[in-house]
Amino acid sequence: MTDDYLARIGQLIRDARQHRGWTQSQLAEALGTSQSAVNRIERGNQNISLEMIARIGEALDSEIVSLGYSGPMHLRVVGRRRLSGAIDVKTSKNACVALLCATLLNSGRTVLRRVARIEEVYRLLEVLNSIGVRTRWINDGADLEIVPPAELDLDSIDAEAARRTRSIIMFMGPLLHRAERFRLPYAGGCDLGTRTVEPHMQALRRFGLEVTATEGMYHGLVEGSVRPDRPIVLTERGDTVTENALLAAARHDGVTVIRNASSNYMVQDLCFFLEQLGVDVEGVGTTTLTVHGRADINVDVDYSPSEDPVEAMSLLAAAVVTESELTIRRVPVEFLEVELAVLEEMGLDHDRSPEYPADNGRTRLIDLTVRPSKLEAPIDKIHPMPFPGLNIDNVPFFAAIAASAHGSTLIHDWVYDNRAIYLTDLNRLGGRLQLLDPHRVLVEGPTRWRAAEMMCPPALRPAVVVLLAMMAAEGTSVLRNVYVINRGYEDLADRLNSIGAQIEIFRDI
């Protein structure tokens, strides 16, 4: 490698380490090397093998370089371009990954329509393929066919792929009905601080699953005689916790009551899918779910997940920060009603079409037209709540919107330990965000955005917020290492270009 390449690789490694909040000593410990060696690598003063680059990328959960396959690595964004026209919302990322986990319940063939082609889905498919599940894209790549084997080969699980997604934890619910013992790698995904898996364990113990954690793996042991003898009360009204409990209850030959359940969009989609499998779920959309499970599920099923309200919010925020008139089609309005109410209070000028059903026949959609608006900061703070409150994943987009409004906005992201910190990356683009503590940030607007070159935050939604600010900034910006965006959005740069953005996908190496 040339000295120039070594210096550029070193800079990427340093940026990824700093975004993860690690010191050089912490990275050195993870790699089994010295702090001085990490220092030399980051300064471009040490030869480095592809194996070492791969190890560093795995340690930092960051794509340092990509070799051997095509995939965007960096984005070059020409800002101050108005968006126009119309764009459709894609299917829900979070619903799709839950449904992929749910296919393990079914011995028959499952077809999922318009599955989001994103890195999170690809990682789960790699895991499924490694344990013997046959998957293939059909209908010109629009839909996905999944056929499980009679026996899963759990000893062959792709640990590297599993560690790059938090969704792997939702394998526990189905697997406790498929194996007496199993191992799963620790869940990975976004760097959002410590998130305990104990609520999952508390729910799944009621079905006989005991889990111990050693050497980077969860070790599951199932006592088949244990069954829920009273309602399961979730200690956290989390989406994946509720989904895991649902997945366990679906193959329990009896009635399971789940209380303090999430009623969010991905949970509802999972309930609708389970009904297609012949599992009766009462109380969909409420915090109490009653599941009439089936000990054996062997049906051929065809299901269409609904559209993604978080992607819809992303596109809405893109229109706001670029002061554009844009029509966003197929918006799942029931999961954006609080957000729209807040934006109306702030002065958003918009129109809504009459409601119409999604392809699943259950979710309500609208077409939403947003126009340039003079926004005022909201009187109350922006904070998430479980559905039907303001969606947890939509909170970061209000940072960019608040920065476009007149006045001060307090954003309280109480769920995640680190995410509010990542929002302060907007200051490098001209934003005025003051971090009050790890969960609260004060946003001053309006903002005169300016171009910058920076590393992508290691959390999905803050990363997209940075991209949107770059689209509003005067000049040309560069956003490096955008794997995290590709985890949750399909062809986002190309789709934004189709409505007037100017974003180039490129690689250094």
The mean pLDDT value of the chain amounts to 90
- 347-389 pLDDT, tens per residue? 999 999 999 999 999 999 999 999 999 999 999 999 999 999 9
Q: What is the DSSP string of 152-195?
A: --GGG--HHHHHT-GGGGGGHHHHTTT-SEEEEEPP-SS--S--
> Quick check: helix, strand or coil at residue 96?
helix
Q: Are strands 301-303 and 110-112 parallel, antiparallel or unpaired?
A: parallel
- 179-196 pLDDT, tens per residue? 899 988 876 543 434 446
Side chain identity, residue 260: N
Q: Which two tokens stand for residue 291?
A: 């599941």
Side chain identity, residue 195: R
Bigger pLDDT: 107 vs 5: 107
Determine the Cα–Cα distance for residues 318 and 281; give it in Å rounded to an integer: 37
The verdict on whether omega for the bond into residue 446 sits within 30 degrees of 0, i.e. cis, is: yes
The verdict on whether omega for the bond into residue 458 sits within 30 degrees of 0, i.e. cis, is: no
Contact 458, 62 (CB under 8 A): yes
Determine the Cα–Cα distance for residues 274 and 112; give it in Å rounded to an integer: 13
- 109-152 pLDDT, tens per residue? 999 999 988 888 999 999 999 999 999 999 988 899 999 999 99
Residue 235 per-residue DSSP state: S
| CA dihedral angle for residue 111, residue 95, residue 481, residue 392, rounded to 10 degrees | 170
Q: What are phi and psi of 139, to 5 degrees?
A: 55, 55
Confidence (pLDDT) at 189: 43
> Quick check: helix, strand or coil at residue 502?
strand
- Burial state string for 323-347 with b = 16 or more CB within 10 A and e = fewer than 16: ebebbbbbbbbbbbebbbebbeebe
Query: Maximum Cα–Cα distance for the chain, whole Å?
Result: 66
Share of the chain above pLDDT 70, in %: 94
Q: What are phi and psi of 97, to 5 degrees?
A: -70, -35
Confidence (pLDDT) at 61: 65
Confidence (pLDDT) at 63: 61
Residue keyed to tokens 């619910």:
173
Q: What is the DSSP string of 351-399?
A: EEPPPEE-TTSSSEEEEEEEE----B--SSPB---STTSS-GGGHHHHH
Contact 252, 237 (CB under 8 A): no
Residue 104 per-residue DSSP state: G
10 Å Cβ neighbour count for 381?
11
- 265-291 pLDDT, tens per residue? 999 999 999 999 999 999 999 999 999
Determine the Cα–Cα distance for residues 298 and 108; give it in Å rounded to an integer: 5
- 44-75 pLDDT, tens per residue? 888 887 778 877 877 776 666 554 444 447 99
Which domains, from first to last, does the chain contain?
Answer: 3-60 (1.10.260.40), 74-90+307-506 (3.65.10.10), 93-303 (3.65.10.10)
Determine the Cα–Cα distance for residues 382 and 404; give it in Å rounded to an integer: 15
User: How would you class 473 by CB atoms within 10 Å of its CB: exposed for 0-12, middle for 13-18, buried for 19 or more?
Assistant: buried
- Cα 451-506-430 angle, rounded to 5 deg: 10
Side chain identity, residue 177: H
* pLDDT band with cut points at 50, 70 and 90 for residue 97: very high
Helix 395-403 vs helix 460-472: crossing angle, to nearest 10: 20
> Dihedral of CA 359/362/367/372: which sign?
negative
10 Å Cβ neighbour count for 495?
17
Confidence (pLDDT) at 107: 95
User: How would you class 361 by CB atoms within 10 Å of its CB: exposed for 0-12, middle for 13-18, buried for 19 or more?
Assistant: exposed
**For residue 138, what is the enclosing H or E element?**
strand 134-138
10 Å Cβ neighbour count for 448?
11
Confidence (pLDDT) at 151: 93
Using the predicted structure, report yes or no on whether residue 176 has a pLDDT greater than 80.
yes
User: Cα dist. 370→40, 228, 329 in Å?
Assistant: 50, 48, 11
- 24-46 pLDDT, tens per residue? 888 888 887 888 888 888 888 88
10 Å Cβ neighbour count for 187?
20
From 188-192, 205-209, 210-214, 418-422, the region with the lowest mean pLDDT = 188-192
Query: Which residue spans within 203-325 are E strands per DSSP?
Result: 209-214, 217-222, 232-233, 255-259, 280-282, 288-292, 301-303
- Cα 426-427-429 angle, rounded to 5 deg: 70
From 113-122, 207-216, 235-244, the region with the lowest mean pLDDT = 207-216
Q: Which of 80-84, 138-142, 485-489 has the highest mean pLDDT?
A: 80-84
Confidence (pLDDT) at 3: 57
How many CA atoms lie less than 13 Å away from 145 in the CB half-sphere? 11
Q: Which two tokens stand for residue 164?
A: 């790059």
* pLDDT band with cut points at 50, 70 and 90 for residue 2: low
